[in-house]
Structure formats: structure tokens, C-alpha cells
Amino acid sequence: MDNYIILVNKEAGPTSRKVINDLEKILKIKKIGHTGTLDPMATGILVCLTNKYTKLVPLLSSLEKEYIAEIKLGIKTDTLDITGNIIETKDAPHLNEEKIKEILENLQGEYLEDIPLYSAKKVAGKRLYEYARKGEEVKLPQNKVFIEELELLEYHGDLIKFRAKVSKGTYIRSLIQTICDNLATIGTMASLERTKQGIFPITVSSTLEDIAKGNFHKLKIEDVLNVQVINIKEEDTIYKKVINGNKLIDNYQGYVLYKKDNQELALYNFNHKEGRLVIKII
């Protein structure tokens, strides 16, 4: 079974699920997952995992993400992005660049955001977009996230372009609404590109077209995590514990990848009193 991580450069249009479906057909693999949904209009890096590596989704999903986003000032839509129906218009104000930079700087740190109505977040067993499509009222949940960096890249006319480095679970559409509220105006997300996730920059990702031609990297655990590799033998006392996924007691710190004859067996996390199994690969 071929277990690896593949970095897809998603184009605007398809859903993340559609990208996965296409990838499964191209690679002839039945089980592929990803570590963070991109809206259909969004582009950029989508970290995908095959076969047993899909068990790493929760771990890799927690990695911080970096985006380049554009705000179209003067309009507000029901989806909070340019693809939605316009529900409000207003003359775009003339803003001071220093004021924009100040607001972006003040929003850095812990941030409580409203989850967008048009999102896949579940409330009472239904996804929020299902409530939206049926016109049903629902109280939007909030999400505590961390905004590490916000940088103004460009401002002219009715367009603001910025870079954001954020924690897992951050909705850039919601962040844009907060930015606009602080600017005493309205706006909507005009474009979004995920340029980095964890250690992965978009420059090392591949389009589906490239992947279909075989032009892509197959990354392993050692390529993406700071791990200590331990080779063990069948006769070692620890061997049966590893292949059975038992907790381990040892003096290691951090992640340990156990191998036999250079074949991956299991990944353990030793940031606890006992080493806990993260993923069994055999």
C-alpha cells in the first residue's frame, strides 16, 4: 500500500472534495484525505494524504496556515465572498494606509470569530449552509482562533490586499468582516489563495495536470515532521507492542517513527508520560 503526502495546487472552481475525487482517479487510489477545506473560489495549497497516512489528518490539520486575500470594499454579500448575492452596497471610502495597518496590527493575537453562515460547520446535526439554503434562522457559533500575522500588501481604490498567518479553524471571510467593521465600512472577500500550510509553501505543490503526468513529490512522515527514527527487529521486546499499537514507556521526546528493515511501522508521540500511538502504518 502506497502511503504518502501530496501537495496539490488547487485552482479556482472545484470544491476540495472534487479535487480529492479527481486525485483518487488519477492515482488509482481509493482512500485520500485532506487537511483543510478550501472554498471553491479559493486557490492554493491543499495538503492531501493517501491510504493509512489519512490517519495523520488531525495532526497535520493543526498546522498554521498562510493566505493572501483581497477585500472588495463597498459591497456585502450573503456568502461573505464575491460569489454570493449582494445584500448591501455603499460608496467605498478613501482610507488612510496607516490606519489600515494599525487595524491589522490590533487584530493580531487571540480572536473570537463568527463562523460564516455559508460554511460546512455543523449545528444541531445540520451544516450551516443547509440552514442558509432553506432560509432557516440559526445562531452562528463562534470559534476562538489565533491571528499570528496580518500584513497590508496593497491598497488602492476599493481594493485591499493583505497577507494573513493564522491558526487552524480561521475563516478569512469572517476576518474580513471584522476588518471592515473596524474600518467603518463594508466589504467582501474578492479572492483567496492559501500560500502555505505548516512547512509547505505553495511553490512545492503540483497542479492536478502535473500530477496526472507524474510530476509531483511523494512526501513521507520524515519530510514533514521533526521525528526520531528508530529501527527495530522482530526479536526486540518492543516489536510486538509497536505493531499492536500499545503505549510505550521510554526516554524519548517528541515524535518517534518506528521502522523494521526501513519499512514504517508506527508513529508515536512521547510528549506524555507514556508514548502514545499516533498512527499505525503496517
User: Does residue 46 sit in the same domain as residue 95?
Assistant: no
Q: Specify the pLDDT at position 152.
A: 98
Residues 182 and 211 in one domain: no
Checking DSSP bridges between strand 142-156 and strand 109-114, what pairing results, if any? antiparallel
The 8-class DSSP code of residue 8 comes to E
Which residues, listed in sequence order, are joined to residue 110 by a DSSP beta bridge? Answer: 146
Mean pLDDT calculated for residue range 243-258: 91
Maximum separation of any 2 CA atoms in the chain, in Å: 75
Number of structural domains in the chain: 3
- Residue 176, classed as helix, strand or coil, is helix
Q: What is the DSSP letter of 81?
A: B
Q: pLDDT for 203-234, tens place per residue?
A: 999 999 999 999 999 999 999 899 999 999 99
Give percent of the chain above pLDDT 90: 77
Is residue 272 predicted with pLDDT exceeding 80? no
Per-residue pLDDT of 38-85, as tens digits, reads 999 999 999 999 999 999 999 998 889 999 999 999 999 999 999 999
In three state form, how does the secondary structure of 103-158 look? Answer: HHHHCCEEEEEECCCCCCCEECCEEHHHHHHHCCCCCCCEEEEEEEEEEEEEEECC
77 with 9, same domain?
Answer: no
In the chain, % of residues over pLDDT 70 = 100
Any idea what DSSP says for residue 94? -
The mean per-residue pLDDT over the stretch 234-240 comes to 93
- Pair 159, 204 in one domain: no
d(C-alpha 169, C-alpha 63), whole Å? 10
pLDDT band at 127 (very low <50, low <70, confident <90, very high): confident
Do 86 and 145 lie in a common domain?
A: yes
Distance CA 166, CA 178 (A): 15
Q: Are residues 18 and 135 in the same domain?
A: no
39 in active site: yes
Mean pLDDT along residues 225-247? 94
List 2, 22, 39, 158, catalytic entry: 39
Domain that holds residue 257: 226-280
150 neighbors 108 (Cβ within 8 angstroms): yes
Secondary structure of 213-241 as H, E, C letters: CCCCCCECHHHHCCEEEEECCCCCHHHHH
Q: Is the pLDDT of residue 173 over 80?
A: yes
pLDDT at 273 over 80: no
Same domain, 241 and 257: yes
pLDDT band at 130 (very low <50, low <70, confident <90, very high): confident
Do 109 and 164 fall within a single domain?
A: yes
